[in-house]
Structure 1
Amino acid sequence: MKRALRICASVVALAAATAAMPVAAMADWLEEAAKPLKGTEVNGIFLDRPGYRAIIKLLPEFEKKTGIKVNYEIVPYENAREKEVLNFTSRGDLTMALVDLVWIGEFAENGWLVPVEDLAKDKAITDPNLKLDGFFPLLLEAFGSWGGTVYGLPFDNYSGLLFYNSCKLKEAGFDKPPATWAEFKDVYGPKLTDASKNQYAYALQSRRGETQSADSFMRFLWPFGGSLLNKDFKSNLNSKESQAGLTFRQDLLKYMPPGVVSFDHAEAVNALAQGQVAMITEWSAFYSTLADPATSKLGDCLAVAPEPAGPAGRLPALGGFSLAVASQASPEQQKATWLFIQWATSEEIAKAYVDAGGVSGRMSVYKDPEVQAKYKFVEPMVASWQAGVPEYRPRFPAWPAISEIVAEWGSKIELGEVSVEAGAKEIGTRMEEILGKEGYYDGKKKLLQ
């Protein structure tokens, strides 16, 4: 599964075409493009996360410029995919798709998304400064592309980072965070844990569901040289490397709060924010929560670093979404939705979006000295996005079903109900049954997109 980052030919061609467009003669291209669409409504789903709250803050600007109304429903992540799938299969009212990187294969193969190339052919509704090559290549491929076609533009993008309380580390005798997972466990863990005082070194969000499968289970495969699947799409979970990573996760539990297996993102972030733990590995999007005095006690003690390296190197968690135009929308709705997506992911508003608490996928905003100085997460996040594993979680259509299996048995492993070896074998057997039924072993499906 591990491979070097590559961008498909159509992505390169489309990026080159949009980059070559002349800069707009006037700054009001958006207003001009939207004139025939005034009164059109865009319908989408947002999550209750900082990136969505950030774009909501900026929405009045878009609606004032365009006369287009953006309707959104805030849905828990755990229900978002199901809600979108039901809407698309029943040809409902959604005009915009929120696409997690692990949904892109399912959504694209079912024909629910309009390719960006088709939308960009209409110059009247395409930003002359769209610049697809202005996105981090890793993000454009992982979140927006499938089978050589770009479907969505990166939005609400995450890298796994190490957030830590520098004051607690200093009190324990450390002047920097752990560079490796081995150092994390063997050196930092014991000194930062005192169960009698309800003080722990680390909290790992592990609640059953996508949090368990993506944020907990997968986090300890890649850095240890393991992976979910091998090159033939057979289970790789019982390999020496994968077993080492999953066993390491179990060993870390002694330095975590009781009940951590039920922690979701909110509980892990709060544990650091309120001083119960000294370190968490969390998505970059949670920086604004940890830096907010209204929700966090950290103040100047908040510090950020890349995730620790394992025996296979530093291979941090990768997550995020793209926004795409839904094929079920009317022609007018598709145009209006395309205008909104371009605006929401544009270089023009990237700084305002970051200032409002979002994490942009645009490279240029992180070169701004003011942004670099203001936000501690920028340097480690950008470093993480220079190289990575697009298949950190498999992006094929079978992932949602496999994720449920990983979540169930990954939780059982972490709770000690089954051994690492037995749990991994069970996941592998059930996973291969799903892939076999869907034609991944008889040539009916492409194994790697």
Structure 2
Amino acid sequence: MNKQLKWGTLALLATSVLISGCGNKTDNADGSNTGTNGSPSDVAMPYKGKEISVLLEGHSTSNAIQKMLPEFEKKTGIKVNLEIVPYSDLTSKALINFSSSSGRYDIVMDDIVHGYGYQNAGYVEPLDSFASNAAISSDYDQADFVPEYLNAMKIDDKMYGLPVYGESTFLMYRKDLFEEYGIEVPKTFDELMAAAKTVKEKSNGEIAGITLRGEQGIQNVYVWAAFLWGFGGQWLNEQGQTDLETPEAAKALDFYQEILNKYGPTGVANFGWQENRLLFQQGKAAMTIDATVNGAYNEDPKESSIVGKVGYAPVPTQSSNPKGGASSLAVHGMYLSKVSDNKEAAWLFMSWATSKEQQIKSMSIDPNSGVSSLAAMKDDAFVTKFGAFKDTMLEAIANGNTQYLPQIPQSNEVINNTGVAISKALLSNKTAADVLKEANKLNNKLLSAK
């Protein structure tokens, strides 16, 4: 059966966001139940004593969950072993766990791009039966999720994950430097190159003109994809083959190589999300293109030295008629392992961690603008904390390209092959056309074997 992700359109998201116990037991403030003697009721905690293991990616969402975890354990009596790893290590750890059927992790958090592959391989459990079970779904509110985020978790009308956070991409730039050097906000890649050149030269090399992700794999691919689409390229052609051996793809990688090697920071070929974010926050680069969640860090006095100095704008494009948008639509979710021995307890954790109450609370704990809860987006804390970039972020999400990364079961391998090509272009004398030709050949060999 041909599986298609049930992606919706986000055209109305910005508008929708801006408008818009029993017996003798008692509920405590922390959500737990007590009997008449004041001790926790085992009846109200049917999974007390269960132990689950959860693999999360290094992210503000995960940091907030970790800090709120004692509340969940007290409320349910379930012991949760959390492991938080960098995003670049996440999928390999998950795949080792799933492919070996070790059951080491009951829950894995990952990008929907990889989640599609997990489902295709039969590694993860559909969640519909848990969601419809009122006895274990007091925290689950389907209507509260951003509809497009929740739909992204569905394959063949079955729900395979709960969206933990969503994001898009946008251009972040130093307003003070642009004003000082008389730079207009770039709308095309040519203008982006010129702006990066101006800053690097006029600051005598003390400030990088731009910083982007260069680390091999999903890290560099996630940002480079903006240039692929912005130059009029695409991942897949009408025949379902990867389409990287094209003039448009070569132009995108030539540009990426040139702007980083000429005007980027030292060591940028090893920059992942965190390194890229930190360099920009420290005021050492004039521009970056990255995830919308980065805005929360830019405007957090505890994290950033450039609070109030950052402007936000759509990702530039070069093609007057690009095949897709240059900004992403990325959704990360929690997935339940097929071989978990504690599926109900794991579901309780998943639904608690993604509930509107916890997501609203998370915004006051860590810089977390990527909430997947409509109630959280409408909360005063969201508007107050993220007002500097809120409108541009919602615009980016509304225009986010649902095919920004390849939505196929083999996406992990395709992304890895392409990431190798990007790294070769940054670190060697090989041309963009040659390395992409090599990656395209590997990708299509993989797809022909499906």
TM-score normalized with structure 1 length: 0.83
Q: Deviations over 1:3-30 (max 9, x none)?
A: 998459xxxxxxxxxxxxxxxxx98897
In structure 1, how many angstroms separate the alpha carbons of the residues matched to 2:316 and 2:44?
47
Match of 2:440 in 1: 428
User: Are the equivalent residues in 2 in contact too, given 1:138–1:387 (CA < 8 A)?
Assistant: no
User: Are the equivalent residues in 2 in contact too, given 1:34–1:336 (CA < 8 A)?
Assistant: no
In structure 1, how many angstroms separate the alpha carbons of the residues matched to 2:234 and 2:372?
26
Among candidates 418, 431, 439, match of residue 430 of structure 2 = 418
Match of 1:297 in 2: 305
Structure 1: runs of 5 or more not aligned: 9-25, 439-449
Q: Secondary structure at the match of 2:445?
A: helix
Match of 2:327 in 1: 316
Match of 1:96 in 2: 107
In structure 1, how many angstroms separate the alpha carbons of the residues matched to 2:120 and 2:282?
44
Question: Is 1:341 the counterpart of 2:350 in the alignment?
Answer: yes
Match of 1:196 in 2: 204
Letter in 2 for 1:151: Y
Among candidates 112, 115, 119, match of residue 108 of structure 1 = 119
Aligned CA distance change for structure 1 residues 54 and 370 (closer, same or farther; 3 Å):
closer
Among candidates 396, 399, 418, match of residue 387 of structure 1 = 399
Q: Deviations over 1:242-280 (max 9, x none)?
A: 333233323423222243222222322222122221111
Shift of the alpha carbon at 1:166? 1.8
In structure 1, how many angstroms separate the alpha carbons of the residues matched to 2:390 and 2:435?
37
> Where do residues 399-418 of structure 1 align in structure 2 (5 Å cutoff)?
399-418=411-430
Q: Secondary structure at the match of 1:35?
A: coil
Match of 1:160 in 2: 169
In structure 2, how many angstroms separate the alpha carbons of the residues matched to 1:266 and 1:298?
16
Q: Of Structure 1 and Structure 2, which has the larger fraction of its residues in helix?
A: 1
User: Are the equivalent residues in 1 in contact too, given 2:90–2:110 (CA < 8 A)?
Assistant: no
Among candidates 232, 244, 259, match of residue 251 of structure 2 = 244
Match of 1:378 in 2: 390
Match of 1:62 in 2: 72
Match of 1:182 in 2: 190
User: Are the equivalent residues in 2 in contact too, given 1:159–1:381 (CA < 8 A)?
Assistant: yes
Match of 1:15 in 2: none
Shift of the alpha carbon at 1:386? 1.8
User: Are the equivalent residues in 1 in contact too, given 2:232–2:248 (CA < 8 A)?
Assistant: yes
In structure 2, how many angstroms separate the alpha carbons of the residues matched to 1:110 and 1:256?
39
In structure 1, how many angstroms separate the alpha carbons of the residues matched to 2:134 and 2:63?
30
User: Are the equivalent residues in 2 in contact too, given 1:104–1:396 (CA < 8 A)?
Assistant: no
The worse-fitting range, judged by mean Cα deviation, of 309-318 and 252-261 is: 309-318
Aligned CA distance change for structure 1 residues 68 and 378 (closer, same or farther; 3 Å):
farther
Q: Deviations over 1:191-247 (max 9, x none)?
A: 22227332222111111222122233x221122221122121223123343333233
Q: Deviations over 1:92-149 (max 9, x none)?
A: 232112232221122112222221212123221113x73434333332243x223332
> Where do residues 2-81 of structure 1 align in structure 2 (5 Å cutoff)?
6-7=7-8, 31=32, 35-81=45-91
User: Are the equivalent residues in 2 in contact too, given 1:206–1:260 (CA < 8 A)?
Assistant: yes
User: Are the equivalent residues in 1 in contact too, given 2:221–2:415 (CA < 8 A)?
Assistant: yes
Aligned CA distance change for structure 1 residues 354 and 181 (closer, same or farther; 3 Å):
farther
TM-score normalized with structure 2 length: 0.83
In structure 1, how many angstroms separate the alpha carbons of the residues matched to 2:325 and 2:8?
22
Q: Secondary structure at the match of 2:163?
A: strand
Among candidates 230, 235, 244, match of residue 223 of structure 1 = 230
Aligned CA distance change for structure 1 residues 287 and 180 (closer, same or farther; 3 Å):
same
Q: Secondary structure at the match of 2:426?
A: helix
The count of corresponding residues between Structure 1 and Structure 2 is 412
Structure 2: runs of 5 or more not aligned: 10-25, 34-42
